[in-house]
Amino acid sequence: MSDSRIDALQLEHIEHLQAAYADILNQHGYDAILIGSGAAPMRYADDQAHHHHGYGHFLHWTGLAGTEHSWLLVDKDGGARLFLHTPVDFWHATASIPDAPWTQRIDVTGQPGPEAPDIDYPERLAVIGDPAQVSDVKGDLNPATLLSALDNLRVAKTPYEVACIDHANAIAAKGHEAAREAFLAGASEFEINLAYQRATGQREALAPYHSIIGLNDHAGILHYQYYDTRSPARPRSLLIDAGVRYRGYCSDITRTTAAPGENRFQALIGGLESLQKRLCEAVAPGVDYMELHRRCHQGIAALLKASELVHTLDDNAIVERGITRAFFPHGLGHFLGIQVHDVAGKPRPSPEDHPALRLTHCLKPGMVVTIEPGLYFIPSLLEPVLDGPDGQYLNRTLIDELKGCGGIRIEDNVLVTEAGARNLTRTHLPV
Ligand code: GLY
Ligand code: MN
Ligand code: MN
């Protein structure tokens, strides 16, 4: 989609927020709301700061990830004013007043200091944001019911938000292609990360989360956080979970690749990919995401059986005995938007037997969810099963052979539409 089309959608997005905020402020009895952008905290006992990503509700209006010490005031008629921090600072690059089309809807004023704008505030003021920034402002600080209403407003994405997430997928897809090529050429985790960053044109600090790039057994560490600078002597597998942020919105994509000759692991990837595609195709309005998660466990059980990792038991027994959880310990996915694990995902608690599930909604048009089944060889989860009464049903020899490949995760970003779903990842990254 062209930049000018996205700009036009952004104006409609802001108009939607103006009307929705006016309703919500009136319902909650406020004349206005002041939203702090937040600012990066300093590292303890140091003069260096962490990297700032921005407060979700501030980004919902402005998309200005990384902007600090700034404030957005929205009144009960939906009028919006941005007070942008424009300090005099010869150590750093500083913000200047933007002239992008969205400034037709949001009035922008520069202010040199980080404090809340010095203006006449209406009497009933809500103030939201990181307490480190907002706690000195007079008003109702982070009122819980108001915050919950604003979180819920982020559940159904506007066409602008969908266009941004789609674009973040298009850019990340280039990175995933480059990462796979680098792996097949023998690159280390560190070099694969460089290939990803080069192809996406985004430094890692700006990405929605630290890329997870694991070779071999590291692919079985769910949020593996290091990059080895040396390639393993025998590269067997790559798992890369990496996204991009575009105008504040995230993509969150995972692909797993087997090295040539890893036929059993490749067959397992193929089996998990078919399951993942079936689950993506099952996304539709009215579908209970918790049921989709349970369906995923049934699919994992069938795959464990078909690949002879588990024998004798039928699929239901494999799930009921908790064996699928030892191979697939996380949830099927989550909301995606301004935050990679976007807000308001749990109107109901996660089921007791699946505490890691982050999304418990019945799906509705406009929601963007991830679908990310996994199948891993995680020693700390498998050993208790192997050493317990169910160990007799597991194929130890095969587990020993495959555990050096770590694991598999395949993750797409899927929009719920009126008619069903649109896969925002596979249009750009079919494999
Ligand atoms: N990248 C983190 C996740 O997939 O949830
Ligand atoms: Mn995810
Ligand atoms: Mn991910």
- CA distances to 91, 95, 300 from 47, rounded to whole Å, are 13, 21, 49
The pLDDT of residue 274 is above 90: yes
What's the residue count for the chain?
431
- If you average pLDDT over residues 155-165, what whole number do you get? 98
Per the CB < 8 A criterion, the answer to whether 52 and 92 are in contact is: no
Residues with CB under 5 A from ligand 2 (ion): 252, 370
Per the CB < 8 A criterion, the answer to whether 31 and 123 are in contact is: yes
Ligand 2 centre distance from Cα of residue 288 (Å): 18
pLDDT class for 377, splitting at 50, 70, 90? Answer: very high
Ligand 3 centre distance from Cα of residue 94 (Å): 32
Alpha-carbon distance of 394 to 384, in angstroms, equals 12
Q: What does the pLDDT read at residue 92?
A: 93
Q: What does the pLDDT read at residue 1?
A: 87
Task: Name, in order, each residue with C-beta under 8 angstroms of 221's C-beta and a sequence gap of 6 or more.
Answer: 214, 378, 406
Ligand 1: which residue has its CA nearest to atom 4?
252
Q: What does the pLDDT read at residue 171?
A: 98
Give the predicted TM-score (pTM) of the model. Answer: 0.97
- Centre a 10 Å sphere on the Cβ of residue 21 and count the other Cβ atoms it contains: 27
Alpha-carbon distance of 144 to 338, in angstroms, equals 20
Ordered structural domains, the chain, with CATH: 3-153 (3.40.350.10), 159-423 (3.90.230.10)
Query: Which of 339, 310, 330 lies closest to 381 in space, CA to CA?
Result: 330
Q: Which residues lie across from 105 on neighbouring strands?
A: none
Ligand nearest to the CA of 370: 2
CA dihedral 314, 319, 325, 328 (to 10 degrees): 70
Per-chain mean pLDDT for the chain: 97
- If you average pLDDT over residues 336-360, what whole number do you get? 96
209 lines ligand 1 (CB under 6 A): yes
408: which 2 tokens? Answer: 């598999």
Q: What does the pLDDT read at residue 265?
A: 98
With the most atoms of ligand 1 within 8 angstroms of its CB, the residue from 204, 212, 222 to mutate is: 212
pLDDT class for 54, splitting at 50, 70, 90? Answer: very high
Helix axes 189-200, 159-184, angle to 10 degrees: 140
Alpha-carbon distance of 217 to 231, in angstroms, equals 13
Alpha-carbon distance of 128 to 349, in angstroms, equals 25
With the most atoms of ligand 1 within 8 angstroms of its CB, the residue from 253, 254, 371 to mutate is: 254
